[in-house]
Amino acid sequence: MTEPVRPDELRVSDVERAAVQERLRQAVAAGQLDLHEFDARVQSVWAARTRGELSRITRDLPEPPPAPPSPPPLGRAFSDDAGGMAMRVLTIVWASIVAINLVVWGLVSLTTAEVVHPWWVWVAGPPGAVLAVLYAAGIGRPKR
């Protein structure tokens, strides 16, 4: 009658070897092993034939530290607010530039005692049209 095989004497598969290699890679990332020691242990992993040999390779390594918490996902509310904020900033910049040019045009018209060609329209028109098209396309508008 044959004795049952002890768990440490069971043969290992490539999947088990790859899992131990990944554990060693995590140990390097956590600073528990240097690259030279990692290389030597990985060679031992792929030469191992039993589970006992694999367990001896990682026996001295503590559990890997927990992964840092992942940042919260960028939800729809954040992206909508960001688009709205960008449109508000662009509109304020555009309105400020138009206001300055309108004031300068008004002062020039007053000081020359005649109405000067309304050149400020060229400053206000094209960028204002771009902002209107972006708004009409839904950029910067709150979602309903």
Q: Write out pLDDT tens, residues 2-43.
A: 788 888 889 999 999 999 999 999 999 989 999 999 999 999
Number of Cα atoms under 13 Å in the Cβ half of residue 59: 7
To the nearest 10 degrees (0 to 180), the angle between helices 76-112 and 120-136 is 160
pLDDT of residue 75: 55
| Four-point Cα dihedral 34, 40, 45, 49, nearest 10 | -150
pLDDT of residue 126: 93
Q: Is 55:31 a contact under the CB 8 Å cutoff?
A: no
CA–CA gap between residue 98 and residue 105 (Å, rounded):
10
pLDDT of residue 51: 94
CA–CA gap between residue 39 and residue 99 (Å, rounded):
68
Q: So where are the chain's domains? A: 7-58, 76-136
From the list 67, 60, 64, 65, the residue with the least C-alpha distance to 44 is 60
Q: Is 128:98 a contact under the CB 8 Å cutoff?
A: yes
CA–CA gap between residue 78 and residue 104 (Å, rounded):
39
Q: How confident is the model at residue 64 (pLDDT cuts 50, 70, 90)?
A: confident
* Mean pLDDT, rounded, of the chain: 87
pLDDT of residue 82: 67
pTM for the model stands at 0.47
Instruction: Give 23's contacts (C-beta < 8 A, 6+ positions apart).
Output: 58, 61, 64
Q: What is the CA radius of gyration of the chain?
A: 35
Average pLDDT over every residue of 74-92 = 71
Average pLDDT over every residue of 131-140 = 84
